[in-house]
Amino acid sequence: MNVSDVRNDFPTMRKGKGVYLDSACQSLRPDRVIDAVMEYYTECPSCGGRSVHSMSTAVSVRTDETREALAGFFGTDDPDCYIFTKNCTEGINTVAYGLDIKKGDVVVTTDTEHNSNHVPWLVLADERGVKRRFSVSKEDGEFDMDSFLEQMCRDVRLVSVQHCSNVTGCVTPVREIAEIAHDCGALVLVDGSQAAPHFKVDLEKLDVDFYSASIHKMLGPSGMGFLYGKKDLLKQLRPLVYGGGAVGRTTYSDVQLAPVPDKFEAGLQNYAGIFGTKAALEYISDIGFDDIVKHERSLMKKIFEGLEDVKGLSIVGPDRPERRCGIFAFNINGLLSHDIAMMLDNMDGIMIRSGMHCSHPLYESRGLVGSARASTYIYNNDEDISRFVTAVRKIAEEFGDH
């Protein structure tokens, strides 16, 4: 992978907009994706799947092509198993409220989940009497298989876990979890937002029942995500939203829902986002995950080496860079994470995220009020890391408590 060529594909990089280290929140977009979005608005700004004129047909064709691209990207055969959503959160909620989860059913998650995979289960516990169990992670955030096994028995209806943490960068052993859950008769839902952009995800091999992710973290347009589900389960799942485009026929007294995936996509869709999604998947595929993984591990190693002797700096998560999946969360004694983020931006245009990163229970369980988080992706280079390391060292030395 030629990083210079990659950086030249991104408008914000060409314009020198600073050092962007916030890709775990939302990735930047290359020209190819922006052009695809504009293609919809300039060439065929119409509604797919309803009218029969040429512009509408072009949108319908591209929609089908994008589902096929998703299926190929994630190693599955049936494009109709992919539902377009606004984001990963909507996909998780679709499963949470679409399954017939009732009082007494158990949902098992981990103690390090993003709020998108935590709050829906809290609400269902309050509304329906659903029971919660947590697999407790190790101190550094690594998944603890022994703790998970302790939570599993025949009363578990669903296991819902992240594939990769947006705080620690730890990767969850999803395939092993799926085997154990299925042996107990439970279904498996995976939050793949932090995994899908960074390493190859083969859903056929993982054998999970549902997988949700955000395209806006994968170089794609904002407001785009997807939910994958096994076909027989999607047929049983109730939609989160009802309306036009999601029905086969209605009368004054009843409704016949459309087949999968249409029954989940009521109303006019984000067609520009669908155009951009296909372009984003193609862009990532052209680079290849082998090069992406190699590049991100190199950047993370440089961060660790550059900051290993900084006094007052503590790391949230494992101390091995190869376990971080492009995420470096840290604190500096005497400083709030928001202070660190603002100083980095003011000093050298270095953009990171700060706070609890929508993973409040994780921080509270460890007695932390948050952390600063730098997250890398394909367009970051050694100079970005050098500037980040230099600025963090200066902040720690001049403003931190030693």
Taking the C-alpha atoms of residue 251 and residue 171, their distance in angstroms, rounded to an integer, is: 49
- Mean pLDDT (the chain) is 96
Q: What is the pLDDT of residue 257?
A: 95
Kindly list the catalytic residues: 358
Taking the C-alpha atoms of residue 82 and residue 401, their distance in angstroms, rounded to an integer, is: 50
Q: How does DSSP classify residue 138?
A: P
Annotate 335-368 with DSSP letters as a single string.
Answer: --HHHHHHHHHHHH-EE-EEE-TT-HHHHHHTT-
Closest to 78 measured CA to CA, from 229, 190, 182: 229
Burial class (CB in 10 A: 0-12, 13-18, 19+), 131: middle
Per the rule left: phi > 0, alpha: psi between -120 and 50, beta: everything else, 258 is beta
- Residues of the chain predicted below pLDDT 50: none
Measured CA angle at 191 (ends 122, 144), to 5 deg: 80
Q: What is the pLDDT of residue 402?
A: 73
Burial class (CB in 10 A: 0-12, 13-18, 19+), 77: exposed
For helices 271-287 and 31-43, the axis angle rounded to 10 degrees is 150
Contacts (Cβ under 8 Å, ≥6 apart) of 115? 358, 359, 360
List domains and CATH numbers for the chain.
3-23+288-399 (3.90.1150.10), 32-286 (3.40.640.10)
Q: What is the pLDDT of residue 276?
A: 98
Closest to 121 measured CA to CA, from 154, 86, 161: 161
Contact 41, 272 (CB under 8 A): yes
Count of residues making up the chain? 402
Cis peptide before 261 (omega within 30 of 0): yes
Is this prediction's pTM over 0.85?
yes
Tokens 């100079």 found at: 383
Contact 219, 27 (CB under 8 A): yes
DSSP-assigned beta bridge partners for residue 256: 249
Element (H, E) at 89: helix 88-98
Contact 151, 121 (CB under 8 A): no
